[in-house]
Amino acid sequence: MLEIFNKDLVQPPRELNNPAASSSSAKPRLGQSPLSKALYVLKKLPLLFFFPRAAASPPKLSQEILKSFVSQSSNAFSISFESATSFAYVTPEKPYSIHQRYWCCMDDIYCIFLENLNNLYTLIKEYGLSKGTNEAMFLIEAYRTLRDRGPYPADQVLKDLDGSFGFVVYDNKAKTVFVALGAKEEIKLCWGVTADESVVISDNLEVIKASCAKSFARFSAGCMFRSEHGGFMSFEHPTKKMKAMPRIDSEGVMCGANFKVDVQSRIHSLPHVGSKANWAMWGSHSDRSRVLLEHKKT
């Protein structure tokens, strides 16, 4: 899968982008002192003499990335929007593979879902959905509930999901993006920044590398990104801040940072859940189900 979002729509953590990655003269090295730099060059000189290193490929433009991805498979299709947003998806050759992926669109909301939810049937009953609902359809309904009613925090919605999962939801009317990756680390998502500063998300690491040069990283497990609500955070530890971890590759070049939970930090503000919200009422699944069913009727 591949998603591309315009820089005006999605602003990722600034540490994900390495503006110097496309300029060989500006690449930061491990050693900062002149002596360290000289020792690094002398150490690499014999290898460079016998095995000259090819120049690093610069990051690509969004349209070039999309065209390249779609051309790699006859089962691929894409959809683009006026907001310079694009979705591309490769239909599985084996529709009943254990590694499931779903593509779904409802009410101008688009979702790509990877893997599966072990408690999907329970969630379907709680949300009052039909038995034929798959994971992508459920995620769209859960997103609509958060968007329209916000009965409880998004991190609680994700904590209720049992299984290995990764998904991207795009609301074309509201122009919002919701991305999350489960905590079990059985699947991988990557994200990066393109030459035109758009954000690319994919489950294919090689696609991200070829698209974003050094401005990319793994999407952290147990985390979510919401374009309209504070950006990137851990849904496993919602009261903790995310900490950027500088990353340097085998050539000594600075890359996009990885992110981990800063256990020493604390976010003191509570998430907004609506002007009439009553925190006491969210103690049981039955109470939540009642509000979800009311939303379904509307």
pLDDT computed for residue 107 by the predictor: 94
Whether the CB-CB separation of 111 and 168 falls below 8 Å is answered with yes
**What's the domain range around 55?**
2-297
Query: Residue 277 — very low, low, confident or very high, per pLDDT cuts 50/70/90?
Result: very low
CATH number at residue 82: 3.60.20.10
Residue 88, sorted as left (phi over 0), alpha (psi -120 to 50) or beta, turns out to be beta
Domain total in the chain: 1
Place of tokens 């690319």: 200
pLDDT computed for residue 51 by the predictor: 46
Q: What is the mean pLDDT of residues 245-270?
A: 86
Torsion of Cα atoms, 61 then 67 then 71 then 73, to 10°: 90
Summarised one tens digit per residue, pLDDT across range 200-251 is 999 999 999 999 999 999 999 999 999 987 689 999 999 999 999 999 888 8
Cα distance between the two ends of the chain = 33
pLDDT computed for residue 100 by the predictor: 87
Summarised one tens digit per residue, pLDDT across range 76-103 is 999 999 878 999 998 877 666 667 889 9
Residue type at 254? M
Give the C-alpha distances (Å, rounded to integers) separating 247 from 111, 210, 287.
31, 18, 45
Say if residue 282's pLDDT is above 70.
no
Whether the CB-CB separation of 191 and 201 falls below 8 Å is answered with yes
**What is the rounded average pLDDT for all residues in the chain?**
82
Chain-centroid distance of CA 243 in Å reads 16
Q: Alpha-carbon torsion 219, 206, 86, 118, what sign? A: negative
Say if residue 285's pLDDT is above 90.
no
What is the spatial distance between Cα 144 and Cα 227, in angstroms, rounded to a whole number?
A: 15
Summarised one tens digit per residue, pLDDT across range 41-69 is 445 555 444 444 445 689 999 999 999 99
Give the C-alpha distances (Å, rounded to integers) separating 118 from 34, 83, 156, 171.
56, 35, 17, 26
What is the spatial distance between Cα 194 and Cα 6, in angstroms, rounded to a whole number?
A: 10
Three-class secondary structure assignment of the chain: CEEEECCCCCCCCHHHCCHHHHCHHHCCCCCCCHHHHHHHHHHHHHHHHHCCCCCCCCCCCHHHHHHHHHHCCCCEEEEECCCCCEEEEECCCCCCCCCCEEEEEECCEEEEEEEEECCHHHHHHHHCCCCCCCHHHHHHHHHHHHHHCCCCCHHHHHHCCCEEEEEEEEECCCCEEEEEECCCCCCCCEEEECCCCCEEEECCHHHHHHHHCCCEEECCCCEEEECCCCEEEECCCCCCEEEEEEEECCCCCEEEEEEEEECCCCCCCCCCCCCCCCHHHHHCHHHHHHHHHHHHHC
**Confidence (pTM):** 0.79
Say how many residues make up the chain: 298
